[in-house]
Structure 1
Amino acid sequence: MKIGELASLTGCPVETIRYYEREGLLPEPARSASNYRLYAGSHAERLRFIRHCRTLDMTLDEIRTLLDYHDHPRQPCNAVNGLIDEHLAHVEARIEQLQALRGALVALRSRCSGEADSSQCGILSALAQPAAEEITAHRESSHVPGPHGSH
């Protein structure tokens, strides 16, 4: 099948298929006499595997590792478990970051009722102030210990 047919079959854009080829995730297909790429069913299966991994927000390096285990089925799968455990920890950390972001946005939103001119907007005023991370970083970088080494 040609690349357009593979794209239709898998729901994957043509440019993404070409990208996965360049990245070495998809093997290079055979070529027709007129130099068209000719894909097999194995390409569609591999592309579905890659796309499933991408829906789980896995990186290309993680996908490469999983494909290596998939392609060499005699390897022990404990490393696959480890990769998933690491990815899960990453996802959990991102969830915590997103919850903190949500809290910051809720607090920011509570600063404005929308009743005044934008010159009086509490959100705009708060955004003009340094972020808490900037203040903390500045304090830590400019800290000079007192005469007894304490503050």
Structure 2
Amino acid sequence: MNFFFEYIYYRLTKAYLKWDGNEGITSIIAIGMIKTVLFMIIAFLVSFIFFSINEISKPSWLKYLIIPPFILFTVLAKKKHRTRFEEYSQYWAFEPKWLRVIKGIAVILALILPWVMILWVAAKREFLSEHLYLLN
């Protein structure tokens, strides 16, 4: 059993159990969001290697390229996790409180850190482009 996204799904579904039920659509959307933001960070860093900041800034249609990966990651997460909450809750039901707190902090960080990282990449895009661009 993997830890990262399975545990995020389990904890978020457990938190929103009355709202979502066992399928945990909020958790599935959160996992899709995390994966999409991480994908965007990687795509930005790779694009800084091959394109200058001026070339990246020109096309305004690039913002629409965020939607297909989000849909893909969300659909894949739904297929993987949709019916597995009971299995996950049996697996993690008896973990000690101190471990549950540490893993809960890890889940919160997993939800926040990708957004902090993408904001940092956006704020430092000129610096990153200068240092990563291969054709300088």
TM-score by length of 1: 0.24
Which structure carries more helix by proportion? 2
RCO higher in structure (CA 8 A, sep ≥6):
2
